[in-house]
Amino acid sequence: MSAGPELAGRLALVTGAGRGIGAAVVSALAEQGAR
């Protein structure tokens, strides 16, 4: 997933983040600065 500074400090709501694809999305967003 590529993103620029527009994710830094932004809030992301991901449902189904306990496992699988949702967990991977949450990890990627957190690495890019999303809360």
Provide block-wise average pLDDT over 10 residues at a time, the chain (35 residues).
74 92 94 93
Are the CB atoms for 33 and 7 separated by under 8 Å?
yes
* Pairwise CA distance, residues 35 & 26, whole Å: 9
Residue type, 16: G
Give the number of C-alpha atoms closer than 13 A to the C-alpha of residue 13, restricted to the C-beta side.
Answer: 0
State residue 4's pLDDT score.
58
Query: Which residues touch 5 (CB under 8 Å, ≥6 apart)?
Result: 33
State residue 14's pLDDT score.
94
State residue 30's pLDDT score.
94
Return the number of other C-beta atoms located less than 10 Å from residue 29's C-beta: 19
